[in-house]
């Protein structure tokens, strides 16, 4: 066969090799492990610097700070930096939804009453922690509002919520002010109040590992994760160049999609 050629001058041995490549199936061989992540609490959103001034609030003047969670989970607690005037009083802190324009709505997801007596009277104030029962569930990339206000009839007791109005750097929300007990709001786009949100990140199972792609002549492959290409290579094999790639190793995670093409232009797809 080595001395036999077709009418184009191609050795018969090349024809046999090409047929072998065509008939040979590409193989995906996974080496995967599954790890269960432990549930835990973590800071999700925060703005904690640059508080040169403050907003005051009481029963009719309400202050809100919107925020956008980066993860889905339960809100375990809030931290707020503030101080108060000489007269203690009853106040409310709550989480509300927002409308399509980012303004607070009347829908309350959770709320907590508290007395201002433990709060410092001296500027710049201190950080104070508040938790809700039951814990509210928040969804990532959805805008929510932290609202604080006094209870009706308490105009004189005041809280001062520390904020940055010079060059705020929190870009996933801003401050709002209402002088009508929350019935209407004014957006202060270039102001941010001092706050931290803590989320309970649920435990989940994560599958990851190595995937071997095997064939006598791999031409190209593309690896996608969440619809985005994380790795791709072309021209891995060529008869003209007389080089062949028989195996590719990929670091993969569950949900990855791999598309591999052999030299005979047959494409195979594998979902991790």
Question: Which is higher by pLDDT, 64 or 31?
Answer: 64
Grouping H, G, I as helix, E, B as strand and the rest as coil, residue 191 is coil
pLDDT tens profile 164-175: 999 898 999 999
Q: What CATH number did the domain enclosing 85 receive? A: 2.60.120.820
Whether 3 is in a domain gets the answer no
Answer yes or no: do 155 and 240 share one domain: no
Answer yes or no: do 181 and 252 share one domain: no
Task: Kindly report the pTM of this predicted structure.
Answer: 0.63
**Mean pLDDT, the chain, as a whole number?**
89
Question: Which is higher by pLDDT, 125 or 264?
Answer: 125
Residue 34 has pLDDT above 60, yes or no: yes
Whether 6 is in a domain gets the answer no
Answer yes or no: do 130 and 214 share one domain: no
Q: What is the pLDDT of residue 186?
A: 98
Can you name the residues that pair with 152 across neighbouring β-strands?
none
Quick check: 165 and 52 in contact, CB under 8 A? yes
Distance CA 224, CA 207 (A): 16
Please state the rounded mean pLDDT for residues 225-231: 92
Question: Which is higher by pLDDT, 160 or 155?
Answer: 160
- The closest alpha carbon to 139, from 42, 198, 72, 67, belongs to 72
Q: What is the pLDDT of residue 207?
A: 86
The boundaries of the domain holding residue 118 are 40-201
Q: What CATH number did the domain enclosing 213 receive? A: 2.60.40
Answer yes or no: do 152 and 244 share one domain: no
Q: What is the pLDDT of residue 183?
A: 96
Please state the rounded mean pLDDT for residues 240-265: 89
Answer yes or no: do 24 and 147 share one domain: no
């Amino acid at each position: 066969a080595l001395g036999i050629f077709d009418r184009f001058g191609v050795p018969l041995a090349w024809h046999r090799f090409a047929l072998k490549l065509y008939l040979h199936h590409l193989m995906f061989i996974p080496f995967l492990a599954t790890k269960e992540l432990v549930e835990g609490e973590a800071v999700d959103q925060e703005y904690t610097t640059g508080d040169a001034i403050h907003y005051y609030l009481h029963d009719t003047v309400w202050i809100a700070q919107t925020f956008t969670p980066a993860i889905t989970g339960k809100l375990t607690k809030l931290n707020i930096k503030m101080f108060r005037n000489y007269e203690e009083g009853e106040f409310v802190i709550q989480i509300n939804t927002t409308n399509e324009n980012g303004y607070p709505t009347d829908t309350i997801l959770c709320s907590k009453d508290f007395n201002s007596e433990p709060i410092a009277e001296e500027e710049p104030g201190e950080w104070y922690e508040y938790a809700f029962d039951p814990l509210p569930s928040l969804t990532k990339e959805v805008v929510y509002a932290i609202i604080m206000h006094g209870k009706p009839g308490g105009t004189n007791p005041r809280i001062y919520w520390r904020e940055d109005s010079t060059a705020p750097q929190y870009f996933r929300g801003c401050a709002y002010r209402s002088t009508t007990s929350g019935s209407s709001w004014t957006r202060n786009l270039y102001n941010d109040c001092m706050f931290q949100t803590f989320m309970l990140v649920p435990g989940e199972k994560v599958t990851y590992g190595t995937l071997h792609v095997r064939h006598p002549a791999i031409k190209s492959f593309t690896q996608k994760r969440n619809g985005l290409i994380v790795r791709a290579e072309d021209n891995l094999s060529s008869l003209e160049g007389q080089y062949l790639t028989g195996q590719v190793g990929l670091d993969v995670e569950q949900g990855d999609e791999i598309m591999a093409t052999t030299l005979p232009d047959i494409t195979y797809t594998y979902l991790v």
